Amino acid sequence: MRPNIIFIMSDDHAAQAISAYGHGLNHTPNLDRLAEEGVRHDATYVTNSICTPSRATILTGTHNHVNCVTTLDTHIDNLWPNVAKHLKAGGYATAIFGKWHLGEGPAHEPTGFDEWSVVPGQGDYWDPAFIGPGGRERIPGYATDIITDKSVDFIERHADPSGERPFFLMCHHKAPHRNWQYHPRYRDIHAPGTIPLPETFRDDYANRAAAAAAAKMRVKSDMLYEDLALVQPEAGADRAGPQMVDGWPPRKVPDLAPGESITVICSETGETFTFDDSAAFAEFKYQRYMSRYLRTVQAIDDGVGRMLDTLEAKGIAENTVVIYTSDQGFFLGEHGWFDKRFMYEESYRMPFLCRYPAGIASGTTSRDIAQNVDFAPTFLDWAGLPVPSYMQGRSMRPVLEGKTPDDWDQLAYHRYWMHNDVIHEAWAHYGVRDPRYKLIYWYNEALGQLGARENGAPPEWELFDCEADPMELRNVAHDPAYAQVFEEMLGKLDARMAAIGDVPCHDSRAVLAERAKAA
C-alpha cells in the first residue's frame, strides 16, 4: 500500500528551537512526537539558505542554477515539472496550503496541486489573505491556526484507510518568520530575561572572512522596533535610529555609543526601559527577540499535534509519512545574529523529523548528510514512482529507514547568490561540508542576479574544522597544518560543482599554485 505523504514546513524555524534536538530553549511536545515515534535527522542541509530558492529546490529536486530561482527576487516558472505534478500523475491527491513565496499570477502560481490556497508574499499573521483558484479572500484569525485548519480539513476529506487513493499534502506555515507575532494564548511563556544567552553572542568576528563582520543582521544594531514590540519614536535617525531601507518607514533600534542613553517603550504594555550600557541593551534586545520568536513557534507545535491526532482518529497514521522541516536554519543569537543566508552551521542546517510507522523504527537518529534537493526524490520513492532524470537529488528513504547505502555521498553543497542584498548585506558564497570539514569560497560578486549588488569586496576562502571548532570561530584556510585538508576539500567542491553543472568563480589550479608559492 502506497503511503500518504504529509510535508509540514515552517519558515525560519531553527533546529535549536525544537526540544527534540536537545538545546533546552523551549518545549515542543508534538514535534518531539515525530522524533520519538520516527527519526530525527541531524545532518540535513539547505542548498541556498534563503526562503524562495529553498522552496524551489524542494519542489523541483534541482539546484537553483537549474531551476533559475536564485534570489528572493526571482520566481518559479510553473510550466516546469515538479514533484507535485509527478505525484498527481501517479494517482495521488495533491494540495498545498500556506506560504508559497515563489511568485504570483498565472506564470508563477502553484501547479500540480488539486487544491491550493496560499498567502501572497510573506503573508500576514492576523486575518491573512489567501489566494487560490477562485481568487483572493481574507480569513479572520491567526495564520498558523488557519493553515492548520485547511490542512486538517484536507486530511479528513481524503482519509482512506484502504489506501485506494493516497494523498500528498504540503502544509507550509508562515511562522516563525520575522516580524514575530504570537497568538495571545502564549503570552505567558518564555518571559524576557529567562532565555539563555548563546556562548558566541558577543562574537567579534576575528579570524573569519570579512563577510561576517559586514552582515547587517546583528541583534544589537539591526533589529526593528516592531521586531521587539517597542514603540518607534516619531523622529529622525538621531533619535529613532536608521531606516532599515531607504524609503521604508521601519527603523532599527540603535546601538548605544559610550555616554549615550536611551528609553524605549513596550508597545504591548506601555512599560518603559532605560539603558546607558550597550552590552545590557543588546541583551535586552536578544531577550525580547527570543521571547517573541519562541512564542510564535508554539502555535506550529500545536498545529502539528492536531494533524497527528487527525491521522489517528481517521485510522491512517500507520500508513502516513509525516515530515517536519523548515526552509532553512536560523540564527538565534549565535554570533550575535538573527536571520540566515550564511553557510555557517546554525543557518545552514535544517531541522528534519520524520515519522512513518510502517517503515521507520521509532526513536532513531541519523547523521548521514542529506539536503533539501533530496526531498522530492524521497517523496517519489515512497510513492513507488520513478525519479525523473532532471532531478539532482537522491532519495533519503534508505537513510531514514536505517539502511544507508555504502555509496551514500556524505557531502553537502551550498550557494548563496544574492550578494550584498539591500537589507542584510550578506555576501555571495558557495562551498561544501563533509562530516568534519567545511570549505567556503566568498566570491563576492553580484553576477547580474536580481536583488544582488556589487560592492567591490575581494574574494576569500574559509575552512573550518567542525569537529575541533564546532562554533566555527577559527578559519584555518591558511593554517599550514590544514593545507592537505584544504586541497582535499577543494577537490570535493570542484567535483560537486561539475556533477551538478554549477559554474565556479574560482580557478583551482591558480588557487593551489598561489598557495604553494606562499608556503
Q: Which residues contact 373 (CB under 8 A, 6 or more apart)?
A: 47, 57, 61, 62, 63, 391, 392, 393
| Rounded CA separation 474/481 (Å) | 13
Q: Is residue 271 part of a domain?
A: no
pLDDT tens string 315-354: 999 999 999 999 999 999 999 999 999 999 999 999 999 9
Whether the per-residue pLDDT at 202 is higher than 90: the answer is yes
Q: Are strands 129-132 and 437-442 parallel, antiparallel or unpaired?
A: unpaired
Whether the per-residue pLDDT at 163 is higher than 90: the answer is no
Residues 436, 499, single domain; the answer is yes
| Rounded CA separation 117/153 (Å) | 13
The predicted structure's pLDDT at residue 498: 98
Q: Is residue 27 part of a domain?
A: yes
What CATH number corresponds to the domain at position 113?
A: 3.40.720.10
Residues 399, 419, single domain; the answer is no
Whole-model pTM? 0.98
**Mean pLDDT across 81-104:** 98
Residues 398, 422, single domain; the answer is no
Last residue of a domain, one of 404, 432, 449: 404
DSSP code for 109: S
**Mean pLDDT across 30-53:** 98
Q: Which three cell numbers stand for residue 11?
A: 519558515
pLDDT tens string 288-310: 999 999 999 999 999 999 999 99
Residues 34, 142, single domain; the answer is yes
DSSP code for 482: G
Whether the per-residue pLDDT at 519 is higher than 90: the answer is no
> Which phi and psi angles does 441 have, rounded to 5°?
-115, 115
Nearest CA to 294 out of 449, 202, 190, 446 is that of: 190
| Rounded CA separation 44/28 (Å) | 20
Residues 396, 424, single domain; the answer is no
Residues 376, 505, single domain; the answer is no
Structural domain range at position 333: 4-183+302-404
Q: Do residues 427 and 214 touch, judged by C-beta distance below 8 A?
A: yes
| Rounded CA separation 57/371 (Å) | 10
**Mean pLDDT across 421-450:** 98
The beta-strand segments (E) located in 80-134 are 93-99, 115-119, 129-132
